Structure 1
Amino acid sequence: MKHIVIIGAGGFARGVAWLIEEINSIKRQWQIIGYVDDDSNKHGQILNNYHVIGGLKELHRLSRDIYLICAIGDPYVRQTIVKKVAPLGFLFANIVHPSVKRSPYISMGCGNIIGVSSIMTVNITIGNHNIINHNCTIAHDVFIGNYCNIFSAANLSGNVVLHDLVSIGTNAAIVQGISIGEGTIIGAGSVVVRHLPPNCTAVGVPARPIKFHQELGDSQK
């Protein structure tokens, strides 16, 4: 059995702990050591049966054969934390709910979280530290970069490209062949029918940019 620490101790982190329990209900694979979170007010708390064992500094004393999963919803914060702890040499797990339907023709990096009843077909490339929430559909030849968020019931048609740090809102749909630039946010329920540039927020049917936001440097991510 492999041991795992969950980075973060918020609502999403508790949801990830439940995903791990669901995996274990089919075949016991993971022993959850607990959560780490730099919010000192949470240290020592028990959240759904698992302790908040301390902040990120607590990782320094743990064995390097322990796996990590970064359960932080904000993609920029997630990126910052991963870059901070990666030099410690831990492995990052992929946490995939047992109900996910996926072909064997998928390339996936590490640190990804995939929720209940999502469907992923063929020749899909998924990078690192992405969140694909519940009931999403990912069609053939989709490329997903790193640190993306795909919220519940979003639909990505074939040959869609998501660059790093893209967020796709709940019930949004991306039609075939569309490319979405780095850092762009798609609002809930939007339908994307045209390529979108980096660092904008786009909403509506069809989705149109309503604002542009400054690109965040690594020190701010």
Structure 2
Amino acid sequence: MVCFLLERSLLPLAKRKPNVVDQVAVPMNVKKLIIVGAGGLGREVHFWLKDWMAHHPGHVIGGFLDDGSLSLNRFNHYADIISTIEDYQPKADEFLLCAIGKPSDKKYVVEKLLAKGAQFFTLIHSTAIVGDNVKIGKGVLICPYSVLSADLEIGDFVTVNTLCTISHDAYIGHFSTLSLHCDVTGGAILED
């Protein structure tokens, strides 16, 4: 698992306390970033990755994995669909981000890709705010303007969509998806 950390606060790093997210290493050998799912969320992730790559040269979007070969036909400004999920064969320099919103579908696809040896990464958008003692699992997507306050845990392969807030002592279970503008109050538990 690889975690790509974008700036998580407007405060300079020297003025912030380190937390779990700050301690994640970013390997320099990463080259191809592949988006799993070419639907609406996948197209948004494409834009966010382009934004991230502007600050991290040497990376490219390697394309999409999607079983619908026509998913992007009405668009001409996205990377290509390079494979179906079934036919995809992982390579050492490829890291995946799952952009499938429906939790049961996401779990099915991720487990199939993990069984093939695929590697996933976590993307935290630069406008997201991540507080102290926040534990973030593998393959997580934290979208623009979301807030993860303090002392909470996000399970593996969770999607926190745009403008969500997760408060203190909350737990978000594996493969969950928080849609746009969701708020999870302090101490709430969303099971797997």
Q: Same fold, TM exceeding 0.5?
A: yes
Change in Cα spacing, 1:90 to 1:6, as seen in structure 2 (3 Å) is same
Structure 2 CA distance for aligned equivalents of residues 15 and 44 of structure 1 = 16
| Identical columns (%) | 26
The answer as to 2:155 corresponding to 1:163 is no
Distance 1:59 1:104 in 2: 37
1:44 to partner: Cα distance: 8.5
Question: Counterpart of 1:131?
Answer: 159
CA RMSD of aligned residues (A): 2.1
Q: Does 1:150 align with 2:174?
A: no
Shift of 1:147: 1.1
Distance in 1 between residues matched to 2:164 and 2:157, nearest whole Å? 17
Amino acid in the other structure paired with 1:11? G
For the 8 Å contact 1:100–1:118, the answer to whether it is kept is yes
By percentage of residues, which structure has more strand?
Answer: 1
Q: Is the 8 A contact 1:116 1:133 kept in 2?
A: yes
Higher relative contact order (CA 8 A, sep 6+): 2
Q: Which amino acid aligns with 1:147?
A: F
Gaps of 5+ in 2: 1-27
Q: How many residues align?
A: 163
Contact 1:46/1:52, CA 8 A, preserved across alignment? no
Q: Is contact 1:4-1:68 (8 Å) kept?
A: yes
Provide the rounded CA distance (Å) in 2 between the counterparts of 1:43 and 1:54: 13
Tell whether 2:136 aligns with 1:108: yes
Partner of residue 16 from structure 1, selected from 17, 32, 45 = 45
Q: Is the 8 A contact 1:43 1:54 kept in 2?
A: no
Match of 2:83 among 45, 49, 54: 54
Unaligned runs of 5+ in 1: 165-221
Residue identity matched to 1:34: G
For the pair shown, the structure with the greater C-alpha radius of gyration is: 1
- Residue deviations 1:163-205 (CA, integer Å, cap 9, x gap): 01xxxxxxxxxxxxxxxxxxxxxxxxxxxxxxxxxxxxxxxxx
TM-score by length of 2: 0.77
Name the CA distance, whole Å, in 1 between partners of 2:72 and 2:83.
5
Residue 41 of structure 1 aligns to a residue whose secondary structure is coil
CA shift at 1:101, angstroms? 0.7
**Separation of aligned partners in 1, 2:84 and 2:117:** 17
Runs of 4+ in 1 over 6 A off after TM superposition: 43-46
CA distance in 2, matches of 1:150, 1:51: 27
How far apart are 1:99 and its partner, in Å?
0.5
State the match for 1:26 in structure 2. Answer: 55
How far is 1:46 from its partner?
6.7
Counterpart CA distance in 2 for 1:105 and 1:26 is: 26
1:87 CA displacement: 1.2
